[in-house]
Amino acid sequence: MKRLALVLLYLVPFSLFSQQIKLERIEPTFWWTGFKNHNLQLMVYGKDISKTTVGLVSEIKHMPELLDVLKVANPNYLFLDLVLSDNTEPGFVEITFSVNNTVVTSYNYEIKERVPGSAARKGFNSSDAIYLITPDRFANGDTTNDKLGFLLEKADRTNKDGRHGGDIKGISDHLDYIQNLGATAIWINPLLENDQQVYSYHGYSTTDYYKIDPRFGSNLDYYNLAVQIHMRGMKLIMDQVFNHCGSGHWWMRDLPSPDWINVWPELTRSTYRAGSVTDPYVSERDSNLFVRGWFDKTMPDLNQRNPFLKNYLIQNSIWWIEFAGLDGIRQDTHPYPFKEMMAEWGKAVLNEYPDFNIVGECWMNYPATVAYWQKDAMNRDGYNSNLPSVFDFPLYDALNKAFNEPEGWNTGVVRLYEVLAQDFSYANPSNIVVFADNHDVNRYLDSQHDDIRKVKLAMTFVLTTRGTPQIFYGSEILLTTGSDKSHGTLRSDFPGGWPADTKNAFTSQGRTDKENDMYNFTERLLKYRKSKEVLQTGKLCHFIPEDGIYIYFRYKGKETVMVVINNNEESKTITTSRYDEFLKKYKSGMEIITGQTLPDLSKLTIPAKSSFVVELMN
């Protein structure tokens, strides 16, 4: 009797303690064999999980080795350093968590086999044309996921800043539309879970880095979307956000360590002045505020200096590339995180996928500051971002003004010329993404006072200059923000995307004549670009604009395309001897929008506020 009591005394505290241990997550949720980098760091989360002893049990040959078990300030986390080898075979590894040699919980961790050829994928490039979609606002293909009880915000189309119900099914239902338009790549604003009280639709407040938001669909739906896109010979670009997470992220309730995020005594926002990173005269205060300040009250600033968080984000990125077979990443607010970490990330991704492409949102208006962030830039401080591509915000800024003001020495089309003339700053000017609008700026039509002629000029320029063009969903059908210039209406619903919509702009019958005119113009140019290597990878040569006329050539091998932009409010007739270095080799041309033949290239008459895209012929 006495002896039994003693045994009980020993057992009770142990069992109570072991019952408290609860494994909640292991991330990455699974991994693959065959990466060049053999290291894998697992984040383990669960009540008092750090008080256990970790072991690995497996039948697979050359099972991963558990190199180290690392503890952080919070006892509810463990980080496991595993090493795989070239010989590690796919299969399951049981990770056991024990107290006093008794297993209290375990996890069957899967090591998958990589898809053959996975490392050799080609990322998006200048042969592509990107169609940008805000998924909540494009099409609602599944109304059953609009109002989910286990997520905070429910769909409400009457709220311009609320969720409207668009989803992955809506995108996959309209792949024909996107492909018929002539786009070859799709960039979708973030799809990861954003379980925030309000304003969750835009997707930039991640609350789970390994889960597609159920209001958009599941991880499997995303995978299947990627498969469908690839079957069409198209590419998928994922929007990723390393600078901040959402305030509703699960780890915000129980941070691994106090330095997981940048903490301030009170809400302190970033200065949003990305140019301060390269500013030789920057004050310590400004420099610190830019990188460590919060993007928003609901977007805690992640501290990428923390080595566990760094590994977490890098592995997360590679996980999505491998899982969904991505063709590119768009990185949000690229200069805001700790830049050394971002460089390590780019290097790690390119190490596994040498021909992959990543475009960073480096939102500055000067080529020199943007160029700093492109891979292999000749930076005086030796910084190499390992970021292959950047968005051309300087050109966007010029484009926003060029067609909307009188021609002058410093105004009008010369703005485009002057920005492109600074391309010497870039390590790789052909790998830059060019756009006239996106989800963060006024729709081009709105910034041009509803003048469709100017929208066409911008579309012509974006699709014929160097780089990879990007079109914002709906701009091809003149979707407008109207009088309310808020972000909520900027990202308005594509007409016809919702079952109750009376107008369906996905079909020519559903569009007005004006909308069809713009759609057809865009389609014609996109399809021409798709068929002409010269517009994708040809060299660019431009001439100093004169009298409001900007002329440039794209040339490759025997092919030359001449683009003429007349920014005047009147028709212009020009003699072309100035362009002889190109024109002397050709006898005639064909204007590809109208199909009109130009038998005499020595003289051209271009109507007011319009362009010619001329294929030169012998």
Closer CB to Ca ion, 145 or 369, in the complex: 145
* Complete DSSP assignment for 546-582: BTTEEEEEEEETTEEEEEEEE-SSS-EEEE-GGGHHH
Least distance in angstroms from the C-beta of 69 to Ca ion: 42
Least distance in angstroms from the C-beta of 255 to Ca ion: 32
361 annotated active-site:
yes
Cα dihedral 258/260/266/269 (nearest 10): 170
Local structure of 456: helix, strand or coil: helix
Q: Total residues at the site for Ca ion (CB under 5 A)?
A: 6
Closer CB to Ca ion, 142 or 476, in the complex: 142
| Burial classification of residue 81, based on how many CB atoms lie within 10 Å of its CB (0-12 exposed, 13-18 middle, 19 or more buried) | middle
Is residue 497 near Ca ion by the rule CB under 5 A?
no
What is the footprint of Ca ion within residues 254-293 (CB under 5 A)?
none
Is residue 145 near Ca ion by the rule CB under 5 A?
yes
Scanning 42-50, 52-60, 94-102, 165-173 for contacts with Ca ion by CB under 5 A, the matching segment is: 165-173
Q: Given candidates 64, 165, 190, 246, which one binds Ca ion under the rule CB under 5 A?
A: 165
Residue 502-541 contact track with Ca ion, rule CB under 5 A, x = bound: ----------------------------------------
**Residue 531 CA, distance from chain mean position:** 25
Closer CB to Ca ion, 209 or 216, in the complex: 216
Is residue 146 near Ca ion by the rule CB under 5 A?
yes
Least distance in angstroms from the C-beta of 162 to Ca ion: 13
What is the Cα Rg of the chain in Å? 27
Least distance in angstroms from the C-beta of 161 to Ca ion: 17
Scanning 158-166, 263-271, 407-415, 418-426 for contacts with Ca ion by CB under 5 A, the matching segment is: 158-166
- CA 504 – CA 577 distance, rounded (Å): 48
Closer CB to Ca ion, 221 or 476, in the complex: 221
Least distance in angstroms from the C-beta of 194 to Ca ion: 14
Least distance in angstroms from the C-beta of 67 to Ca ion: 44
- Of 221, 327, 361, 615, the catalytic one is 361
Scanning 1-9, 157-165, 180-188, 394-402 for contacts with Ca ion by CB under 5 A, the matching segment is: 157-165
Closer CB to Ca ion, 167 or 437, in the complex: 167
Closer CB to Ca ion, 150 or 409, in the complex: 150
Nearest to 358 by CA among 307, 314, 302: 314
Least distance in angstroms from the C-beta of 495 to Ca ion: 16
Scanning 136-144, 200-208, 261-269, 445-453 for contacts with Ca ion by CB under 5 A, the matching segment is: 136-144
Nearest to 161 by CA among 497, 491, 499, 495: 491
Query: Could you tell me which residues come within 8 angstroms of residue 332 by beta carbon, excluding any fewer than 6 positions away?
Result: 190, 204, 239, 240, 241, 242, 243, 361
Q: How many residues does the chain have?
A: 618
Pairing state between β 539-542 and 597-598: unpaired
| Residue 248, token pair as written in the block | 């509703």
Pairing state between β 91-99 and 102-112: antiparallel
Residues 234 and 172 sit within 8 Å (Cβ to Cβ): no
Query: Could you tell me which residues come within 8 angstroms of residue 429 by beta carbon, excluding any fewer than 6 positions away?
Result: 423, 466, 467
Closer CB to Ca ion, 165 or 328, in the complex: 165
Residue with tokens 């995020």: 261
- CA 23 – CA 108 distance, rounded (Å): 12
Closer CB to Ca ion, 142 or 221, in the complex: 142
Scanning 83-91, 145-153, 227-235, 574-582 for contacts with Ca ion by CB under 5 A, the matching segment is: 145-153
Is residue 52 near Ca ion by the rule CB under 5 A?
no
- CA 153 – CA 142 distance, rounded (Å): 17
Residues 489 and 202 sit within 8 Å (Cβ to Cβ): no
- Of 142, 332, 446, 476, the catalytic one is 332
332 annotated active-site:
yes
Least distance in angstroms from the C-beta of 146 to Ca ion: 5
- CA 579 – CA 551 distance, rounded (Å): 9
Residue 414-433 contact track with Ca ion, rule CB under 5 A, x = bound: --------------------
Closer CB to Ca ion, 174 or 334, in the complex: 174
Roughly what angle, to the nearest 10 degrees, separates helices 307-324 and 339-352?
30
Is residue 167 near Ca ion by the rule CB under 5 A?
yes
Scanning 23-31, 141-149, 377-385, 417-425 for contacts with Ca ion by CB under 5 A, the matching segment is: 141-149
Which positions lie near Ca ion, rule CB under 5 A?
140, 142, 145-146, 165, 167
Catalytic residues: 332, 361
